[in-house]
Structure 1
């Protein structure tokens, strides 16, 4: 079993790298990818910790993007973490997150939800602030009854205080990953808020830009949906991947390994890297 979708304290997860790797070892996970939001700050630590436990480590990331007003998440695998274009983009995204957070907090005041930027920073476990941290603070201060409510009513796509991302276009991120000689995958497609026909059209457009695959074995997917997205991937000649989207206590119903992804997925990824880029990965 493998898990290619995990978040740590370096973004909006609650666990340290060592804790994540120990949990994976206990579950006999053969390979892991840390896919923190819009940053690669934990990847060196992840590699060292995985080596100690004899677990294969794949350098990953999850980008939060916008496509014509629709929120789309793109997973990147087998990153070149020294690539200047990637590093420049990540620095920009960090600054953009900070500005977006401040705008969102200002907008929340219209609904008598008063949170300071300093309070949100105190909730965050790293210098990367996400909407999950805002939602957690809203819950702690009694403005909402659940994190889900915070997203649906206020800070998620379509919420009253939602602020769209600026200059983080899905096609641009796929292109960035192509230039990095990494692989790009569409994350949890069921949760993209468009109809089936629109989603299929989007996948075609993403593939034309260089999308490599679809996350089919996702922790929240039933077998019906896993098979549905596998069939789409097969029809469109795309790779498949899988992972839990583990966040720790913030989503305590999800455990590492949920999604039941398997190592053959990685084998196909490595073969594709060789075919697409001439890139050999051990």
Structure 2
């Protein structure tokens, strides 16, 4: 089994890249792709573990796009970590994130929940700050009882404390990923705009904009969702991938490689992904 979607403390997870490689070995995975948000910062430590483990360690990232007025996450799988242009583009995305974070500090203060940038930074072990760290800071200051409540009441999408950041279009995201030698894949489509959203036509639109795959196996899908997305990928001729979306302690009960317990991503999906990588437009 493989896992092509996971996070470390370099974005919004809690484990180090080294720990993630060891967990993959314990889970007897054959391949693991690290996909931190907007960064390849943990990749050198991750790949340095390859001599110590049998599991194949692969390079990826997760970017945010704007699609139909909402945030759509896109996995860039098998990107080249030495691609200087891609690194520069990721630096630009992190600057956009930093700008959004400062605006969110102001918004929360206006809502009677003042936290400082230092409060939020104290919850992060790396320079990249996400809403997870805001949630922990809000809990630490007593504005919510637990960090998940901050997403429910304050900083989740459509909540009063949420501040959107400038996001890529799907065309931009797919081009960036493909030019970096990777394969652009729609992450957890079943979590976009609610489970009732019908993806048939939307995925065709994204395919026309350069998307090459979709995440049909996911750590929190129900069996019916997985079946639907596997069939949709096949009908469109898109590569199908899968992953747990492991975040360590930030997603309690969700295990690397196994998700909530029933996830099994077949090895042969990686073969198809690598064939797609070699046959893509920019390679």
Matches within 5 A, 1:207-226: 207-226=207-226
Matches within 5 A, 1:45-124: 45-124=45-124
Compared CA separation, residues 42 and 236, structure 1 to 2 (3 A):
same
Compared CA separation, residues 200 and 156, structure 1 to 2 (3 A):
farther
Residue 261 (structure 1) aligns with = 265
| Structure 2 residue 4 is matched with structure 1 residue 13 | no
- The superposition leaves residues 56-102 of structure 1 with CA deviations (integer Å, 9 ceiling, x where unpaired) of 11110011222242010000111112223311211111111111011
Distance between the aligned counterparts of 1:270 and 1:118, measured in 2? 42
Give the 3-state SS of the residue equivalent to 2:5 in structure 1. strand
Is there any run of 5+ residues in structure 2 with no aligned partner, and where?
A: none
Residue 238 (structure 2) aligns with = 238
After the TM superposition, which of the residue ranges 222-231 and 141-150 deviates more from structure 2?
141-150
Superposed CA RMSD in Å reads 1.6
- Decide whether the 8 Å contact of 1:66 with 1:169 is kept in 2: yes
Distance between the aligned counterparts of 1:175 and 1:152, measured in 2? 34
Is there any run of 5+ residues in structure 1 with no aligned partner, and where?
A: none
Q: Pick from 265, 273, 277 the counterpart of residue 273 of structure 1.
A: 277
Distance between the aligned counterparts of 1:122 and 1:257, measured in 2? 30
Residue 197 (structure 2) aligns with = 196
Give the 3-state SS of the residue equivalent to 2:75 in structure 1. strand
- Decide whether the 8 Å contact of 2:17 with 2:43 is kept in 1: no
- Decide whether the 8 Å contact of 1:80 with 1:182 is kept in 2: yes
1:167 positional shift:
4.3
Distance between the aligned counterparts of 2:18 and 2:66, measured in 1? 32
Residue 229 (structure 1) aligns with = 229
Give the 3-state SS of the residue equivalent to 2:29 in structure 1. coil
| Structure 2 residue 156 is matched with structure 1 residue 156 | yes
Normalized against structure 1, the TM-score is what? 0.93
- The superposition leaves residues 27-50 of structure 1 with CA deviations (integer Å, 9 ceiling, x where unpaired) of 111101110010001112111113
- The superposition leaves residues 108-143 of structure 1 with CA deviations (integer Å, 9 ceiling, x where unpaired) of 112211110011111111000001110122223222
Residue 32 (structure 1) aligns with = 32
- The superposition leaves residues 214-271 of structure 1 with CA deviations (integer Å, 9 ceiling, x where unpaired) of 1111110121111011111111111111111111111121111123212111001112
